[in-house]
Amino acid sequence: MEKIYKKLVRDNIPEIIRESGKECIIETMEDKEYERELNNKLLEEVEEYIESESVEEIADILEVIYAILEFKNIPVKEVEEIRLRKRKERGGFERKIKLIKVMDL
C-alpha cells in the first residue's frame, strides 16, 4: 500500500517510518519551497488545534513557529520582546473583550 503526502515533516519521521518496516521517499527542499511549506504546516497545525484543542497541537504550533524564526534568522528573544511591548501597549486577552462596533462621535 502506498500513501502520498508531499508535505513538510519533522526530521526524524523518515527514520521512524523505516524502523516500522516501511520505506519512504524524501527530498530536501530549496529555501523558497521550505518557507512555503513551513507556512502550510503552521496552518495545518492551527487547524488541528482548533479541531482537538489539544496541548500537543499547541506544542506542534510552537515547533513550527520556532522553525520559521530559525529559518528567518529571528531570535526568539526578539519576538518575546516585541510580544511584551505590544502586551504593555495594547494589553493581552485575559479580559475576553469582543469589539462589536466603532462609531464616529
Q: What is the DSSP letter of 54?
A: -
pLDDT given at position 80? 98
Angle, helices 55-71 vs 76-90, to 10°: value is 110
Amino acid symbol at 68: I
Instruction: State how far the Cα of 93 lies from the Cα of 1, in Å rounded to an integer.
Output: 47
Name the nearest CA neighbour of 35 among 58, 74, 57, 67. Answer: 67
Q: What do you get for the CA distance between the two ends of the chain, in Å?
A: 66
| Domain ranges, ordered by start, for the chain | 29-89
pLDDT at 41: 98
Res 1: pLDDT: 81
pLDDT given at position 30: 98
- The count of residues in the chain is 105
**Mean pLDDT for each consecutive 10-residue tract of the chain (105 residues)?**
94 98 97 98 98 98 98 98 98 97 95
